[in-house]
Amino acid sequence: MDHLNKKENNLKIIYSGRYSVNEILSGPELTARRIFEQHCLREPSVFIQYFFDGRKFGLMKKLFGRDEELHERGRVLTLGIFRIIPELRKLKPDIIHLVTFERFAVIFYLYSLIFKVQIVFNSHGVIQYENKVLKDTPMLYSLKDKFCERIFIKHSDKIVFPSVNTLNIAGKYYIFEEETAVILPNGIDDVFFSEKKITGTSNRPMAVIHHRNELNNSGMKLLFDTLTTADLPIDVYVVTNSLHKLPENNKINFINVNPMMTSELAEFYRDKDIFLSLNGYDTFSISTAEAMASGLIPVITTETGVSRYIENGVNGFTFDHHFKHDLVKILSDIFNMPADKRALISISAQDIVKYLTWHSVYEMYVPIYNGIAE
């Protein structure tokens, strides 16, 4: 499908959330940029965000400010609170796609009470659950997040969840119509498919794990608790900005690595063998999908959303986060299996995610836009 259908030639879609120009992005930030970029390849569009950094921007900027930047064929507008509705009145969108959770977006729902507009909301994770169970979030911020998330879930025309896990958790906290929910994957940058994998360079397997923030703490705890005494000759690269006291083990070599830009990470993966995603809560894990596209064998918990793409022993391995000692068994099995079988699993891992390019993922949104525009 090369263009939005139409009923459509005049269908106007704008995007909102947080547009980050950094090269090292969180999953939601990456999704926001890539979906917006893919849409702008079809037709020019606008991305609306807020002056988030209170240390950088003063009160007048946060209330009445307006900055505009051009990015490819799109415009990124950073607006103060009182500039948003006037800007929407000028743009007259048919659809607002809120790609990341941001509290300022409550204004879009107020706008929708008066003016005809459909809203699509990407729920990358259930914020109320994360604040209550996984984070040490101050009460005031938790209450504001809960208020906004309730509005987003209840009043969006479509809610996009990255996995069944996320949908099920949302259902425990909020009531919403089943037909408003849809499950769509996140995407993978093309560079991870294009880098040719180096194989057979070492008899010592090399594994990679990412730790980005406190949502990943359960995975790091499982890693250190389980592998500290394991009798496995393996190198484990911990990609993180956080300070970790890496455990010592006579057989396992733990190595701290700083986060990398996309092209550097794709190159880094070329000679690695295994990717670990060990969290007790991970709504999708773009990093796992990127590693699979690079030919790494995924070893992940069933609580990781991307686990729905993995068939044990065929294109990777999954295990329940609560049965942590299964990790050692899986890694031992990988270490002891013939090289040709490991290579076959690696190829199968690449094959299963080859349809998750950002172009392909954007195409999955097109029927949603068309459907709610009817």
Nearest to 371 by CA among 2, 5, 38: 5
Per-residue model confidence as pLDDT tens digits over 300-354: 999 999 999 999 999 999 999 999 889 999 999 999 999 899 999 999 999 999 9
Percent of the chain with pLDDT over 90: 77
Give the pairing of strands 66-71 and 74-79: antiparallel
User: What's the pLDDT at 8?
Assistant: 47
User: What's the pLDDT at 209?
Assistant: 95
What angle is formed at CA 182 by the lines to CA 167 and CA 39, rounded to 5 degrees?
A: 125
Is the pLDDT score of 154 beyond 70?
yes
* pLDDT class of 6 with cuts at 50, 70, 90: very low
Better-scored residue on pLDDT, 241 or 196: 241
CB-count burial class (<10 Å; 0-12, 13-18, 19+) for 223: buried
The amino acid present at 96, given as its one-letter code, is: I
Is the pLDDT score of 189 beyond 80?
yes
DSSP 197: P
The answer to whether 68 and 77 have CB atoms below 8 angstroms apart is: yes
Per-residue model confidence as pLDDT tens digits over 285-297: 999 999 999 999 9
Percent of the chain with pLDDT over 70: 96
What predicted TM-score, i.e. pTM, was given to this entire model?
A: 0.92
**Tokens linked to 190:** 């093309």
Is the pLDDT score of 203 beyond 80?
no
Per-residue model confidence as pLDDT tens digits over 264-286: 999 999 999 999 999 999 999 99
Locate tokens 């209170």: which residue? Answer: 54
For residues 46 and 49, give the distance between their C-alpha atoms in angstroms, rounded to a whole number.
10
DSSP 131: I
The answer to whether 11 and 4 have CB atoms below 8 angstroms apart is: yes
* pLDDT class of 11 with cuts at 50, 70, 90: confident
For residues 371 and 374, give the distance between their C-alpha atoms in angstroms, rounded to a whole number.
6
Looking at the DSSP bridge assignments, the partners of residue 79 are 50, 66
| Phi and psi at residue 265, to the nearest 5° | -65, -40
